[in-house]
Amino acid sequence: MTGNTIKERLAELVEESSDGAIPADLARSGGASLSALGLTSLSRMRLVDAVEGEYDVEIDLDAAGWELLDDLDALAAHLAAR
């Protein structure tokens, strides 16, 4: 699976996790952190659950894990490298 394919799916998961508050098109456009786009703590936890379930990974919620979850490009690259 390529980084772009993963990014597309992650953008959809952001939209689902945020109950549509952050549309997939906005999430995938890049340039802004997910926090800057309005991703709430609750939405972030939903995103963690969705990513862990879909990609069979465990995201460590230390500082590095939180930073990773704020940058869709970095998260996609991380998952593609696995």
Measured between alpha carbons, how far is 40 from 54 in angstroms, rounded to an integer? 21
Domain harbouring 72, CATH code: 1.10.1200.10
* Number of domains, the chain: 1
Rama region for 17: left / alpha / beta (φ>0; ψ in -120 to 50; rest): alpha
Contacts of 3 (CB under 8 A, 6+ apart): 76, 77, 80
Please give the model's pTM, rounded to 2 decimal places: 0.89
Q: Are the C-beta atoms of 49 and 13 separated by less than 8 Å?
A: no
Domain residues for 11?
A: 3-81
Taking residues 11-38, report their average pLDDT: 93
How is residue 70 written in tokens?
A: 């704020």
47, 39 Cβ separation under 8 angstroms = yes
59-79 pLDDT per residue, tens: 888 767 777 888 899 899 889
